[in-house]
């Protein structure tokens, strides 16, 4: 068959969800929320605000602010999370579970990423709390990087598996764990082969780019995120995992807005903004792998199955149509530079 005959010009799938999203707060929240709500039915909303969302009461208040910021006529269901600290009480987990609006608890190793200063210094501080999470079935979402400065930045995820993930899963074999935004063949292989309830989210940018893209002709801060982009062999392993049909892998954009000035700086913030065009980027990645037929499971089925939620009912359609990303988008009283700013991409959500 010729290329022409095998080329698909549109794809309609069950409305997808974003299982890892940063919406921020206040005027920034109002700027970014419509982008995610246009593409996704629900999102797991990250709790790394300043101050972090550490209690059920704070999660309920944050959820109300999100719903208040949602433009009329749009529907979107924010699935809230709690930020685990050294001092999160076991009772807080029971409150979270009873609330019905908190769907997971998030581990930020202290110092690992944006707004992680209040994070956990040693998981042994949290064992009583983890016991309750395991007992009530509250998922544990993990930013999987060690923070040991002796460990090379590019090895921090692989070392995390050995130093933290394996002991954690040995001690809590029934705890539902999501290895968030995986970036290495080590993590992909670990998740695919591990016994028990574990899954992983994969971003669009880690499917499309490798670490060369951060340094192409100069330093490109908009390709800097954490965990940092890795070598091509790792990107290929992530594409294989995402397109394998294995239900342990599902979509999480990790869209993480930072103002332009905070990214294009002497010490620039980590995070890529993809909320505007995430599904288009995933479609591109799946098409390049010849696996557009696997996109729906990854984007719309595997996540709800893991979280014990129903699939969305509507559909979205992506068409093969070239369009050019804007250079910037409004972000509160500043601007955010989307990933692929000014570039032409091949898919467009209708
Ligand atoms: N991914 C990132 O590079 N940044 C995220 C934090 C995170 O998910 O680690 C952010 O909140 O900006
Ligand atoms: Zn993270
Ligand atoms: Zn994130």
Q: How far apart are CA 44 and CA 211, in angstroms?
A: 27
Judged on CB neighbours under 10 Å (0-12, 13-18, 19+), 221 is middle
In this predicted structure, what is the pLDDT of residue 265? 98
**Separation of 256 CA from ligand 2 center, angstroms?**
10
Distance in Å, CA 333 to ligand 3 centroid: 23
Shortest-distance atom of ligand 1 to CA 224 = 3
277 is in an annotated binding site: no
Mutate to test the pocket of ligand 1, among 48, 106, 223, 337 (most ligand atoms within 8 A of CB): 48
Mean pLDDT (whole number) for 171-197: 98
Return the percentage of the chain with pLDDT > 70, whole number: 98
Distant-in-sequence, close-in-space partners of 215: CB < 8 Å, separation ≥ 6: none
Q: How far is CA 195 from CA 54, 166, 216, in A?
A: 30, 11, 40
Average pLDDT, the chain: 97
What sign does the dihedral 288-179-141-48 (CA atoms) show? negative
Give the span between the Cα atoms of 337 and 350, in whole angstroms.
22
Q: Please answer whether residues 61 and 101 qualify as being in contact, where contact means their C-beta atoms are separated by less than 8 angstroms.
A: no
- Using CA atoms, how far residue 146 sits from 204, 264, 299, in Å, is 23, 26, 28
Phi/psi at 210 (5° precision): -125, -175
Ligand 1 binding site (Cβ under 6 Å of any ligand atom): 22, 48, 113-114, 143, 225-226, 254, 256, 270-271
Task: Determine if residue 94 is labeled as part of a ligand binding site.
Answer: no
Residue 252: CB atoms within 10 Å: 27
% of the chain beyond a pLDDT of 90: 97
Rounded to the nearest angstrom, the distance between the alpha carbon of 271 and the centre of ligand 3 is 8
Residue 65's SS3 state is helix
Q: What is the separation of C-alpha 342 from the centre of its chain, rounded to a whole number of angstroms?
A: 24
Does 230 count as an annotated binding residue? no
Closest-lying ligand to the alpha carbon of 46?
3
pLDDT, tens only, 289-336: 999 999 999 999 999 999 999 999 999 999 999 999 999 999 999 999
Rounded to 5 degrees, what are φ and ψ at 150?
-70, -25
Cα–Cα distance for residue pair 234/207, rounded to 1 Å: 9
Residue 7: predicted pLDDT: 76
pLDDT for position 1: 44
Q: Is the peptide bond before 51 cis (omega within 30 degrees of 0)?
A: yes
Looking at residues 34-54, what average pLDDT do you find? 98
Centre of ligand 3 from the C-alpha of residue 182, in Å: 11
Among 164, 146, 163, residue whose Cα is nearest residue 155: 146
- Is 258 annotated to bind a ligand? Reply is yes
CA nearest to 59, candidates 13, 90, 105: 105
Give the pLDDT band (50/70/90) at residue 2: very low
> In angstroms, rounded to a whole number, what is the distance separating the alpha carbons of residues 95 and 133?
11
Q: Which helix (H) or strand (E) holds 192?
A: helix 185-193
Q: Taking residues 131-147, report their average pLDDT.
A: 98
Which residues carry out catalysis? 254
Give the chain's radius of gyration (CA, Å): 19
* Ligand closest in space to the Cα of 20: 3
């Amino acid at each position: 068959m010729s290329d022409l005959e095998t080329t698909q010009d549109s794809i309609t799938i069950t409305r997808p969800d974003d299982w890892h999203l940063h919406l921020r707060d206040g005027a920034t929240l109002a700027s970014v929320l419509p982008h995610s709500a246009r593409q996704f039915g629900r999102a797991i909303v990250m709790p790394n605000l300043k101050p972090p969302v550490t209690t059920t009461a704070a999660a309920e208040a944050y959820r109300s602010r999100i719903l208040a910021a949602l433009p009329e006529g749009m529907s979107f269901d924010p699935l809230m999370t709690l930020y685990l600290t050294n001092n999160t009480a076991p009772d807080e987990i029971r409150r979270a579970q009873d609330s019905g609006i908190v769907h997971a608890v998030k581990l930020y190793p202290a110092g690992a990423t944006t707004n992680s200063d209040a994070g956990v210094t040693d998981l042994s501080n949290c064992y009583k709390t983890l016991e309750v999470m395991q007992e009530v079935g509250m998922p544990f979402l993990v930013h999987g990087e060690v923070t040991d400065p002796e460990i090379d930045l590019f090895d921090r995820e692989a070392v995390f598996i050995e130093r933290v993930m394996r002991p954690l899963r040995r001690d809590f074999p029934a705890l539902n764990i999501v290895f968030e935004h995986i970036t290495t063949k080590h993590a992909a292989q670990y998740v695919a082969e591990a016994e028990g309830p574990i899954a992983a989210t994969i971003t669009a940018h880690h499917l499309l780019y490798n670490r060369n893209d951060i340094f192409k002709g100069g330093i490109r801060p908009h390709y800097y995120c954490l965990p940092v982009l890795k070598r091509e062999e790792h990107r290929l392993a992530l594409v294989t995992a995402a397109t394998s049909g294995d239900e342990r892998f599902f979509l999480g954009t990790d869209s993480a807005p930072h103002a332009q000035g905070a990214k294009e700086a002497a010490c620039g913030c980590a995070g890529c903004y993809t909320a505007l065009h995430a599904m288009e980027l995933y479609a591109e990645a799946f098409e390049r792998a010849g696996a557009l037929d696997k996109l729906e499971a990854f984007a719309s089925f595997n996540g709800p199955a893991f979280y014990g939620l129903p699939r969305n009912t509507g559909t979205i359609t992506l068409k093969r149509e070239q369009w050019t990303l804007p250079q910037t988008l409004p972000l509160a009283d500043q601007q955010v530079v989307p990933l692929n700013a000014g570039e032409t991409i091949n898919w467009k959500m209708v």
